[in-house]
Structure 1
Amino acid sequence: MNVQERYRLWSENPYFEEEIQQELKEITDPQEIEDRFYTDLEFGTGGLRGIIAAGTNRMNKYVIRKVTQGLAECVCDHGPEGMQRGVVIAYDSRKYSPEFALEAGLILAKNGIKVYLFDALRPTPELSFAVRHLRALAGIVVTASHNPKTYNGYKVYWDDGGQVPPVKADQILARINARENWLGIEPMSLDEAKRSGLLQIIGEEIDQLYLSRVKELALYPDLDAQKGKELKIVYTPLHGAGNILVRRALSELGFSSVQVVHEQEHPDPEFTTVPYPNPEAPATFELARNYGNEMKADLLLATDPDADRLGVVLRKPQGDYIQLTGNQIGIILTYYILSQKKSLGTLPNNAAIIKTVASTDLADEVARYFNVRVENVLTGFKFIAEKEREMEEGGWGTFQFGFEESYGYLAGDFVRDKDAIIASVILAEAALYYQQVEGRTFFDVLESIYQQFGYYVEDQESLTLEGKRGKEEMALIMNTLRQEEIHELCGMTIERFDDYEQRISKNLRTGQTEPLKLPRSNVLRYSFSDGGFVMVRPSGTEPKIKFYISVKADTRTEADDLNCKLKKELMERIAKIRSA
């Protein structure tokens, strides 16, 4: 069907509820109609994410039905055993999240599949834990993570608790695409699903098991219990799912001086107090800073709506606050875990960390110093989880820590996605240890790392390019860069050019090429001979193209200056491509 045929079907067929049809009939802009119906909302390894509205290219219950039916058919391929193992479903605080979660559950039940549905909003990492603990075949989280309030999403997990891998995602997508007709996908009634035993509500029993595992990750539980109250923390869940579990985990370990930001404590799909519920954005900490100033807090912590990302702001000795980057948090946690486990004698001989190619190379240097293996994977935490599984099944490494620059962190072996509850606990303990045992702050720790390994500064720029035209413009940028051979940027020599779409790495000094082992992905990375890189990639979850910058210098001032000049030159180059 073409755009107009799809539009008429959704506007006129009684299968679609009156509210949907009225919304569509009120659209007067032909471009808006085209954008809603020119394609289906894309399903990939991250599932779905889109603006909440009527249309095939939007998030609504009919898209949920069609995608869930495709997932259900893949579950049924595993026979009665797979259907009985079932699917766990969680959701966050976004608009329609509970309704979409229930809709998905009732579609699965209609297909004879066992469903475990959380009784209220829960963090994404707890869903990952629940899939593993319940030995379910799959999991679903209804969330759009840190996207604006107009978005919602649908993430699919497989039996190891990690996001569905590319091969399985392709199988699900094939089932979704095989069904051209949007009509006739009906959910089971709620009463029947409960009466038949196909729908089981879960909650506190999973919380307790999950929290017990989180607390086991503490390296100094006695210190936490005895001195935890000395560390003053302000925490905001940003109206999301982290509120209860983050506070319980910290409190049960001994961190009793935690003040929640009351204005952002409770779920709010409008995210009334923040323009954008992303802990990377400084504005999200505005209220937390006020609380911090009042109680002279040591740490300000923020989790995003589904509590898989953690943002951190530190109090400086002068009394003002400064926000850490995702890379700085990752470095602090890497250094703390490896150095303390080495000191305690608990660092395995085959210890390994996993990070993404968009994250700082400083972590590689720190890990090598402790004789720890480093695995670099594509951007997206699903690839960290996949590598952890490979490591575990192959027996060639023991996972210690994983992180990505976009505020995602993981330790332990019981979750297979980034986890802000785990990160909050380890970070709080690290701050307490350095404060109480070594008399240092995180600023002191970072400075000592920079002095030892070099001053790394990372930055990021992004362009928002929405709709069909936006996708075309992103393709133009990537294709132009791919065809050019750039040998230097900002006076820095580029030694290696990696094209992950072509899966080729080229040494620009020698001209030699070699295959890249990572999966195919539309990513370009330029590595400088003296350290640092530039990386370009279209986002897989937002209508953006992202530019990652990392520079290395002998002093902080030199690194900051170099970063500013490099970013300016890079964006001027991109502007020329767009205007050509």
Structure 2
Amino acid sequence: MSYKEKYASWTNSQLIDSQTKKELLELTDEKAIEDRFYKDLEFGTGGLRGIIGAGTNRMNVYTVGKATQGLAQYLLNTYGDTATVAIAHDSRNMSTEFSETAARVLSANGIKVYLYESLRPTPVLSFTVRHLDCKAGIVITASHNPKQYNGYKVYGEDGGQVTDKAAKEILSYIEAIQDFSEIKKVSFEEGKKNGKIEIIGENVDKVYIDKVKGLTVREDLVKEHARDLKIIYTPIHGSGNIPVRRVLKELGYTNLTVVKEQELPDGNFPTAPYPNPEDPKVFNIALNMAKEIQPDIIFGTDPDCDRIGVVVKTNTGEYKVLTGNQTGVLLTHYMITSMKEMNKLANDSVIIKTIVTTEMANKIADAYGIEYMDVLTGFKYIGEKIKEFEQNRNHTYLFGFEESYGYLAGNFVRDKDAVIASMLICEMTLYYKSKGKTLYEALMNLYKTYGCFKEQLVSIELQGKEGQEKIAKAIDYLRNSLDYKAEGLNVIRKSDYKLSKEYDIKNAKESDIKLPKSNVLKFRFEDGSWFVVRPSGTEPKMKVYLSVTGQSIEDSEAKMDEFKNRIMELIDKACNI
């Protein structure tokens, strides 16, 4: 069916509400109509994510209903009448409506639903699936995307995002739905009345909060000195406000100031159009407050509270926003050394990170005799490893992180968790403060010991159908047609995760990559620098990850400038082949 035929089917359907039809009929730009209908919003391994609006390529109650009907049929086929589902949502526009739509569809299919009465962080949903022994979970969120977006993430019975295999099976059920009339739905009140929709809240929150507090490493230090730490926190209009502050307050971190302008949930994100702690601009108000308060630490969580950004005080008295990699290596070092000192470190402990994350963590783990593992980009792969460790009993998960500001300790959550991370970051800052050091000084000491690693991410946004085609062609060129000699590149190794092959170019050898297949390429150079290129799984972007190592901060910055210019010239050429 062409995009024009799909458009006509929506505007003429008796199953589409009048407001949605009005939105579509008011469209005058043919390109806008094409973009809304040239494809169905893709259900990938992370579920759905897209711009809110009418159309098959948009987030709306119809696309959410269709995805949920497919999920319901998958669950009934897989688990029968034992299937139960937990649902949560964040502060985004339409999140409540989408979560209730999902609950209504599941309920109509005879599946019991546990629905949170108000917004909750994504990691709380992950915990809830495990705690209530559900077969699946849904969280309505678009994480850190701008206000125009929302999303629909699906979790498996282990509390991790669904695996590639399960996602493909769910997708097959979704694609089999030919008409909206096939989507079963009852009213929200009827679902509650017949017991298929159960509202949950504090009864689960308390268990989660207690487990988070149980991850405290230096219990005596926190108990005696938590009140001495000065903190500024911003929830960036999201779901972290209550759980983050509750955990910290119950542990004794009473000297906390919240950024009032960003405290309350608001899907329009009025003070942060891009509500991402990776973007330093979200901390502008907090940094203004810091002039008077002089905090030891500033941090902010994204709308669904799975990512956290950290701001530290430098030796010159200024405040600096750390990268996700910098926070990650600080936490990696702190967890290893503190757990070892407190006799809590298992002999088979493992650190896990993604293939695009700093390799400084590898050097730290090596220095302490701790095993480390690389997984594909996406925290679900870290969650899969935790599940594997439990089943095989061959490793103990210690800590995992990814460069995009996601961290996790403990095994009761199977996704990145900014509630847990905020607690550990406060404890780590308190520990260094007790030693007369700032977190920034601790980072500088790590650089002196392990080298000045510097990483950078470049996101190339290519909208629409043409953009997707350009991304595909660019990656195909880099995979199959790139001539290293002609480009003057001293590449010594190429890792092709789609083909599961690693090519040792220097020694003309080939080996297998024992990870799931993914459309990702990684190129390593003689001086230890590397870059990775991959299409984004959730946005119309191609992502390029760059890494260099220098003798000093100035040296690594100079190397990065030169390396970035060279690689981006290559990427630009690939995009315009």
- For 1:33, what is the secondary structure of its paired residue? helix
- 2-structure distance, mates of 1:229, 1:317: 23
- 2-structure distance, mates of 1:61, 1:165: 25
Between 489-498 and 405-414, report the one with greater CA deviation: 489-498
Structure 1 position 528, deviation (Å): 2.5
- 2-structure distance, mates of 1:189, 1:81: 21
- For 1:20, what is the secondary structure of its paired residue? helix
Structure 1 position 484, deviation (Å): 3.3
Provide Cα deviations, 1:431-461, integer angstroms capped at 9, x if missing partner.
001111x221222221221111111111111
> Which of 398, 410, 418 lines up with 2:408 in the alignment?
410
- In structure 2, the CA distance between the partners of 1:319 and 1:382, relative to structure 1 (3 Å rule), is same
- For 1:549, what is the secondary structure of its paired residue? strand
Is the 8 Å Cα contact of residues 51 and 152 (structure 1) preserved in structure 2? yes
Structure 1 position 490, deviation (Å): 10
> Which of 482, 493, 496 lines up with 1:496 in the alignment?
493
Provide Cα deviations, 1:187-219, integer angstroms capped at 9, x if missing partner.
111222111111000001111100100001111
Q: 1:173-252 residue pairs with structure 2 within 5 A?
A: 173-252=171-250
- Any stretches of 5+ residues in structure 1 without a counterpart? none
- For 2:373, what is the secondary structure of its paired residue? strand
Aligned to 2:361: 363
Aligned to 1:419: 417
- 2-structure distance, mates of 1:206, 1:64: 26
Aligned to 1:514: 511
Provide Cα deviations, 1:77-128, integer angstroms capped at 9, x if missing partner.
1344532xx0000000001000100000010000000000000000000000
Q: 1:206-355 residue pairs with structure 2 within 5 A?
A: 206-355=204-353
Is the 8 Å Cα contact of residues 109 and 115 (structure 1) preserved in structure 2? yes
Aligned to 2:158: 160
Is the 8 Å Cα contact of residues 103 and 197 (structure 2) preserved in structure 1? yes
Matching residue's letter, 1:166: D
Provide Cα deviations, 1:346-386, integer angstroms capped at 9, x if missing partner.
11110001100000001011011111111100000011101
Matching residue's letter, 1:29: D
Q: 1:331-480 residue pairs with structure 2 within 5 A?
A: 331-436=329-434, 438-480=435-477
Structure 1 position 575, deviation (Å): 1.9
Provide Cα deviations, 1:134-193, integer angstroms capped at 9, x if missing partner.
000000000000000000000000100000111110110000011122334241112221
Is the 8 Å Cα contact of residues 221 and 253 (structure 1) preserved in structure 2? no
- For 2:137, what is the secondary structure of its paired residue? strand
- 2-structure distance, mates of 1:558, 1:317: 19
Aligned to 1:76: 76
Is the 8 Å Cα contact of residues 75 and 82 (structure 1) preserved in structure 2? no
Provide Cα deviations, 1:389-429, integer angstroms capped at 9, x if missing partner.
11221111100000000000000010000000000000100
Aligned to 1:47: 47
- For 1:155, what is the secondary structure of its paired residue? strand
> Which of 524, 535, 540 lines up with 1:543 in the alignment?
540
- For 2:50, what is the secondary structure of its paired residue? strand
- For 1:348, what is the secondary structure of its paired residue? coil
Aligned to 1:89: 87
TM-score normalised by length of structure 1 = 0.97
Matching residue's letter, 1:499: D
Between 126-135 and 547-556, report the one with greater CA deviation: 547-556
Is the 8 Å Cα contact of residues 85 and 138 (structure 2) preserved in structure 1? yes
Q: 1:100-115 residue pairs with structure 2 within 5 A?
A: 100-115=98-113
Between 8-17 and 178-187, report the one with greater CA deviation: 178-187
- In structure 2, the CA distance between the partners of 1:420 and 1:198, relative to structure 1 (3 Å rule), is same
- 1-structure distance, mates of 2:546, 2:361: 15
Residue 61 in 1 paired to residue 58 in 2? no
Is the 8 Å Cα contact of residues 471 and 575 (structure 2) preserved in structure 1? no
Structure 1 runs (4+) deviating above 4 angstroms are: 485-492
Residue 531 in 1 paired to residue 524 in 2? no
Structure 1 position 573, deviation (Å): 1.6
- 1-structure distance, mates of 2:318, 2:79: 59
- 2-structure distance, mates of 1:39, 1:490: 37
- 2-structure distance, mates of 1:410, 1:431: 17
Structure 1 position 341, deviation (Å): 1.0
Matching residue's letter, 2:141: T
Provide Cα deviations, 1:314-344, integer angstroms capped at 9, x if missing partner.
1223321100000000000000000111112
- 2-structure distance, mates of 1:79, 1:296: 54
Is the 8 Å Cα contact of residues 314 and 441 (structure 2) preserved in structure 1? no
- 1-structure distance, mates of 2:57, 2:570: 32
Q: What fraction of aligned residue pairs are identical, expressed as a percent?
A: 47
Aligned to 1:35: 35
Q: 1:128-167 residue pairs with structure 2 within 5 A?
A: 128-167=126-165
Provide Cα deviations, 1:541-562, integer angstroms capped at 9, x if missing partner.
1111111011012222211100
Is the 8 Å Cα contact of residues 313 and 323 (structure 1) preserved in structure 2? yes
Is the 8 Å Cα contact of residues 232 and 298 (structure 1) preserved in structure 2? yes
- 2-structure distance, mates of 1:245, 1:108: 28
Is the 8 Å Cα contact of residues 123 and 241 (structure 1) preserved in structure 2? yes
Is the 8 Å Cα contact of residues 454 and 557 (structure 2) preserved in structure 1? yes
Is the 8 Å Cα contact of residues 138 and 157 (structure 1) preserved in structure 2? yes
- For 2:180, what is the secondary structure of its paired residue? coil
Structure 1 position 538, deviation (Å): 0.8
Structure 1 position 224, deviation (Å): 1.2
- 2-structure distance, mates of 1:262, 1:489: 56
- 2-structure distance, mates of 1:89, 1:518: 30
Is the 8 Å Cα contact of residues 475 and 574 (structure 2) preserved in structure 1? no
Matching residue's letter, 1:321: Y
> Which of 565, 568, 576 lines up with 1:568 in the alignment?
565
- Any stretches of 5+ residues in structure 2 without a counterpart? none
- 2-structure distance, mates of 1:405, 1:290: 27
Matching residue's letter, 2:329: I
- 1-structure distance, mates of 2:424, 2:484: 41
- For 2:166, what is the secondary structure of its paired residue? helix
